[in-house]
Amino acid sequence: MEKSSKIYIAGHKGMVGSAISRNLIEKGYTNQVYSPYPPFDLTNQIIVGEFFEKEKPEYVFLAAAKVGGILSNNTYRAQFIYENLMIQNNIIHQSYKHGVKKLLFLGSSCIYPGNCPQPVKEEYLLTGELEYTNEPYAVAKIAGIKMCESYNIQYGTNFVSVMPTNLYGPNDNYNLETSHVMPALIRKMHLGKCLENNDWNSIRQDFKKYPVECVNDTFTDSEIMDKLLKYGISTNPSPITQHPAPSTKHQVTISLWGSGNPYREFLYVDDLAEACVFVMNEVDFNDLKALRPEPCALSPEQTVISHKSGTDIKNTHINIGTGKDLTIKDLALLIKEVVGFKGQLNWDNSKPDGTYRKLLDVSKINRLGWKEKIGLDDGIKMIYSKYSA
């Protein structure tokens, strides 16, 4: 990309899109174009076509998507598959029609089978069943990868797909109904700490910034407490029924989904943005096509993966992550320490765990010349400092 190149970031208001925008501005790329937001509808074929015809971007970062955690993925299954497919189809196809020089499509690590050997290599795609709770979202993202590959093969485009691990950072989603595990834990621990200290001023500030199911800072203490209880944050004694003095401390318990035993890998979103700009500038589809998968040593119990040595062009996407993970339980304890929450954590085994482990093999992106910079401890401290400010 030239510094004056016209760059379109689809999803520029989101966590990933805004991080890419910041990174580009820092590097001197000032000719960015954004789709109007709202009421611009990326699922509308006509509207997207008219936008590309008018703006004619040279480079496209496709970061727009409908995203969420286990609860929202499993609840809004039809919306997740429909909206993501439509967004991808429209932007990828219009990029081809209007001669975009290069497109970068952002997928998700949930594209891989639920029982993948660890760490997960790019060539494990489509070798087994997906994890059920996020299957619709994963199917849509897989379709995006294959669409980019197929357009490259048939039309000679230069569309590259990257698969980030679990992300966190500025502009994350802290909605307790739809958030991913990291922001949900940070918010629950923060609210738990506020309840411990009977700090209703801070609780109301939190609900003002992030209403919970339309309940905001204007609602009564009892109504706010009902929402906290719904999302597993409880006290003994109740701060509502006991009418304690402001200095009263409470015993607070936070109930968390699942066993806490699954492992997760996390990447700070600014690191992802750096990786995306690196790939856009340095890695073309022909480079990825030339990279052959390394032989895989699998036990008899694991999925059998076929490595064809012929002319098949597949699995050209790139994993982006840290190559390091930890259990959800250890993550919760780390966040608890950073936030300063002193109460108890209870794990609700009746709730789903999701995929047990999905540690990405990041050897491909490392060989291409990129590695993350921000460690998990530092990243969480940075995020909580911004959240609680």
Active site residues: 137
Strand 7-10, strand 263-264: pairing: unpaired
Strand 159-164, strand 102-106: pairing: parallel
Examine residue 113 and say whether the peptide bond preceding it is cis (omega within 30 degrees of 0): no
- C-alpha distance across the termini of the chain, in Å: 37
CA separation, residue 269 to residues 1, 275, 320, 380 (Å): 21, 10, 11, 12
Amino acid at the residue 189: M
Q: Are 163 and 108 in contact (CB under 8 A)?
A: yes
Can you tell me the distance from the alpha carbon of 307 to that of 318, in angstroms, rounded to the nearest whole number?
Answer: 17
Spatial neighbors of 33 by CB under 8 A, at least 6 apart, are 6, 7, 8, 55, 57
Strand (E) or helix (H) holding 206: helix 200-209
Q: Is 76 helix (H, G, I), strand (E, B) or coil?
A: coil
The owner of tokens 């219009």 is 94
Can you tell me the distance from the alpha carbon of 376 to that of 322, in angstroms, rounded to the nearest whole number?
Answer: 10
Phi, psi of 211 (to 5 degrees): -55, 145
Can you tell me the distance from the alpha carbon of 321 to that of 266, in angstroms, rounded to the nearest whole number?
Answer: 7
CB atoms within 10 A of CB 81: 19
Listing DSSP states for 12-35 in one string gives TTSHHHHHHHHHHHHTT---EE--
Q: What is the dihedral of CA 70, 72, 77, 81, to 10 degrees?
A: -90
The owner of tokens 């003002």 is 208
CB atoms within 10 A of CB 198: 18
